[in-house]
Structure 1
Amino acid sequence: MDTGPRLRLNNGVEMPALGLGLFLAPADETTGAVVTAINDGYRLIDTAAGYLNERAVGEGIRRSGINRSEMFVTTKLWVTDYGYDEALRAFDLSLDRLGLDYLDLYLLHWPTPEQFDKTLAAYHAAEKLLTEGRVRAIGVCNFVPSRLETLISQTDVVPAINQVELHPFYNQRETREADARDGIITQSWAPIGGIFTRLQSLGREVSGHPLEHPVVLELARKYGKTAAQIIIRWHLDHGLSVIPKSVKPSRIAENIGVFDFQLTNEDVARIDELDKGMRAGPDPETFSRDSYQVDVTAQ
């Protein structure tokens, strides 16, 4: 079974390049999705305390029957648990919900610019967990380059990962380049534009969708692939980690069916040109502890 390419993090740990994202996946659908994904070859599972499905993820891993050592499991610290002692307690709770002895990757979910001291304290807690061997790698999500440089200058461990919104309409060139300079892997959330679908479901008007763009559809015909597979391959060909979300078995299988082809440099560049600077998710520089009301204990 082809489980796809792997990326070497800046501390030497290897991580699958492609994984299953579970942003707000309902807990009652998550366990089955995880089992399906593992059976289809996924070895990276990405969840978060704020997704309220950590228990279901852990149950899915156990039901799959796979050896724990074959899996790469990521979860994230929610912003209401920022601070040093708070983060350590929250980590223990996440690990308990997942039913695991260690994590492969622990991420800070968002920066909180108005209380960045708490963000830094939480990252120091993650450094302690790394030193103790309770996590294999640590990192951040949604950090713009300037905010990331501040964190690096005031901590001891350079993040292994910066997970950010990244898709053809918002390709984050500046962030990708800054991450690469610091030896950080950029990981793409909402990689095929799922955030646009979510906004539409909430009644928000959005301008187009990456999956429907004529260039993407043309390349899908050229390669005999789906639009989603073309976009996922674009991420991989840029050397990114990519975590498309789905709980549907057919989509889960579709999203991993990208290891038998590569885009040409010219076709990668054509998709690069679709960038609109169009962020659909929250702005990290205005994100606060009050941006979302999430009770992470309600799972």
Structure 2
Amino acid sequence: MVETLHSNSTFLRPAFFILTGIPGLGGAQAWLTLVLGPMYLLALLGNGALLTVTWIDSTLHQPMFLLLATLAATDLGLATSVAPGLLAVLWLGPLPMPYAACLIQMFFVHALTAMESGVLLAMACDRAVAVGRPLHYSILVTKARVGYAASALALKAVAIVIPFPLLVARFEYFHAKIIHHAYCAHMAVVELVVGNTRANNLYGLALSLAVSGVDILGIAGSYGLIAHAVLQLPTREARAKAFGTCSSHICVILAFYVPGLFSYLTHRFGRHTVPKPVHILLSNIYLLLPPALNPLIYGARTKQIRDRLLATFTFRKGQF
């Protein structure tokens, strides 16, 4: 590639960036594919199976399962937006990524992360209505409203994330083209920019606090209502059954937000205490762990899905 040199340390916008993977690990990066590769395969198979089962079984065309299918589709997109390039970099070493492809990946990673957070909030609201007002559930929560909610969440994710690549695209000069990361995260690219990045930093911080903060508060409020409704039930068995309907969702929330918040806090406030390789590794695991675990959690804990998967497997096995 022929680059125009603007100064001794400043380059005109490069045609491609070079992703190095996880700095400091050297050749040991290849061994991480033995962990992250199976995680991606599990995400593909698990979420694909959930989507297929929900599609072919008309008895699962209910709001709760449609929300679960939306989560599975989001997980599938999130894992696929990161994992192929990540595995290639870890296995083959530093690889170039076209400038436009980097901005596209940046958009999808952040938009799908915001989408997943929104879906988890919608699922918490769904469980709050199911536990708190079971007699009105079928009236308040319908398939049409789930469709509207999913569309609104997708539009919101696009609207709030599209400024990320646009804010980066306005810069013409960079002091390097090597990204010390395994994918094109917004802040990893901004670190290479020559110019005033205050708008990028402030928008990234505001978006993280607004999206995650609002969704976490909404989820906490929903579970506060759930806890209040459960405690009003007369028997321990009834309380255990009501709260059991939320156990899968609680596990999914913890799998998504705990590593995500830890990664965010280490990036913002722990740069001098948490080594950069650890932070980058955690950020990659954060994007792959929930898509890999969610199908297992719902498949193991949701009776209708478990029975349908077993029936499908038994039927296919009986054909041979």
Place the TM-score, normalised by the shorter chain, in its bin: under 0.3
Structure number with bigger Rg: 2
- Which structure shows the higher strand fraction? 1
Q: Which has the higher contact order (CA 8 A, sep 6+)?
A: 2
